[in-house]
Structure 1
Amino acid sequence: MRLTKTFSAFFQSEKAGGLLLLFVTVVSLLLANSVIQADYIAFWNTEVGHHSITHWINDGLMTIFFLLIGLELEREIYRGELANIKNAILPIFGALGGMLVPAGLFLVLNYGTATQNGAGIPMATDIAFAIGVLSLLGNRIPSSLKIFLTALAVIDDLGAILVIAIFYTKTIAFDNLLIAFSIMGFLFILNRRKVHHLAPYLIGGAFMWYFMLNSGVHATITGVLLAFVIPFGDGGKNTASYRLQHILHHPVAFFILPLFAVANTCIAINPDWHEGLSHDNSLGILLGLVVGKPLGIWLFSFLAVSIGICKLPNDLKWNNILGAGMLGGIGFTMSIFITLLAFKEDGEAVITYSKIAILIASFLSGTLGYLWLNFTFKVPEKRLKSKK
């Protein structure tokens, strides 16, 4: 299976972005536990316009990340792997299993407790990290597995967005929500009138974000909604959707996501940090990401093939799908994002323990996925000898 130029560019961007995320996360954790700990953590909590710097990153800049996710999802639906329903069914089923099984395992431990709201945390996959780890395996990985993991992660992101919109919205100010959707309706009319300049959509999107922020629905949802009213056309290089997606790739991968990682992993790790891992919430996150993700992705993919609604690509085996499922357990960005929403009223301790559990689970998932795929795609000894 040949990779399109758009997908290849996307894969390379996510690959480099994932490696950068790993680097800045380690640096942030080191600074947060160094001699400058107090000043470093205080900086991210500095208030600017009645909100902390971290808050502006999470509710403001991350909207741009969700805009890019929306544009990528739209492209996948119209021209990518999801355009062909037969090709799309396998990653769709895999993504469903990768959301439902981890959430179920989390709820087994946390249902009826104060932390049951965190069920969405292990449902997410960090596409940048997952692709970054996959890229370390080089050209041995078939393009079909790269496409499967990428499509699965994009669908996963859509699932996470729906979870945020439905389950993490407490109170709604319907007047502001109505204004936000009215602006969206106006932008849709511009789309149908074939207005291809980006300016009115971006300006309208900024107003949409403001009213969505004040509606009670999480403001980052604006990014996804805006993506689907920006003209897609034939998806070519001259379309508004393609131009904006191309513009956003590098700023998101190399600035917004690293900044989010730095701001949200400045965690002061106390000597008794390991005690938090025994909490049902932390155990639910660890179990959901490390066990639930690969189990759910493999099980639902196997089910879809077994009942005959899709087939496994010829160059893949079921142990390869299991390895991709392990990489799906790298929650990181989206898992931390959902943690902040799920436990914003439960105190800093719960959030800190959840972040530590996410970091450990993501590290374990990435390491296990790399080792497993490295073993399953091991270069045959004959080929190694022929290269010498």
Structure 2
Amino acid sequence: MNRQALATVFVAVSMVLAGCGGFAGGPSSTATPETPSTTSEPSATPTTTPDSRVSVYGDLPVNATLVWERVEAMFGETYEPPTVTVLDGRPPGRVSSFPAQLGLGEGRISSDGGVNGRYVFRNDRVQVIPRNGSPSEIERILAHEYVHAIQYRTDFVDRARESGIWRVMTEGSAVYVEDVYTRAFLGFSTIERRCEGYRTGTPYERYAAQPYCFGGQYFAETLDSPTELLSPNTTLPTTTEQVLHPGTAEGPTNLSVVDGTPSGWYTPASMDRQGELFVRTVLGVELSETRASEAAEGWGNDRLLTVTGDMEGYVWVLRWDTVDDADEFETAFVDYLDARGNETADGWRVDDHRYRLTTVDDRTVAVVTGNGTFVDAVSVGGEGGNVTVSSES
């Protein structure tokens, strides 16, 4: 069933459940990359009616049961609903150290931002922070968090973990269903608004929005209806390269990074993959979206090594599909560093951090960043995707 026909069915369902149409669309908010800290939850008796299926602690300007049943109808199944709690607020979002060091913490959302929410698996509860949001804003966030509750009631969560790109899969699929919901009941596209936030937002907002925008676009392009999302026959992508280029089945290229220091700076568990989407978002801190996306294409694989102790820092090793792809990334990353800091004889300085760009072989590049002692000590060598990181001191 195509999107237009599906929306017609959902409108019909809404008439049965609510006896009325949808709300007008409002501006879209962007959830933060981290689980938001919140104030204590209300302890009052939930607001329910005899025929309500969802218990709500606090006041909501929307019918929580109606939204739940609309989302259920999209999946064609009936599930036990979660509890909904209305909270007052949260502190500004945070970004982990490595993305922050690359500029993705700039322009953090303040505590008085838009509507926010989360699903808490441990007590099966949706938390909504409405602030002064419109009913349509609150409704779409509630629908989004309900999708997360249903993800945990099926095997989708396990499949998303196995994909290796958990956040893009869980948030992107929830945005896709949210988009089908808002098109049917609220008269606007959630994906369009979230992606507009990615294109025009601060570096922090872009970093926060990336799994929502591009994950949502991926599922919208590859699925015909939400029912396909939970089907065991639906194959999930395993890299953000596959998300950005639907139909691409190519997996990560060979890249082996070993610790060549006698003391062992890091463990294999520290070698996380960042992916093409992260590369694109980092470059977009200083470069145009077109330039950033073109320079990130051709990504083959990468590994991030985190070193702590007296010599704190990171070694980010990137393997590219072709020599030209590697050259294009290096050129773009130099321009990115030039825009952020000052080039010296030993690399670039941005605030209190040092950066060095190392060509490992014709398709492999390493970004070394951290304090001066660390950057001076690091040596990265190898060929053919077999890389050794060692200390020169």
TM-score higher than 0.5: no
Higher strand share: 2
Higher helix share: 1
Structure with greater Cα Rg: 2
Higher relative contact order (CA 8 A, sep 6+): 1
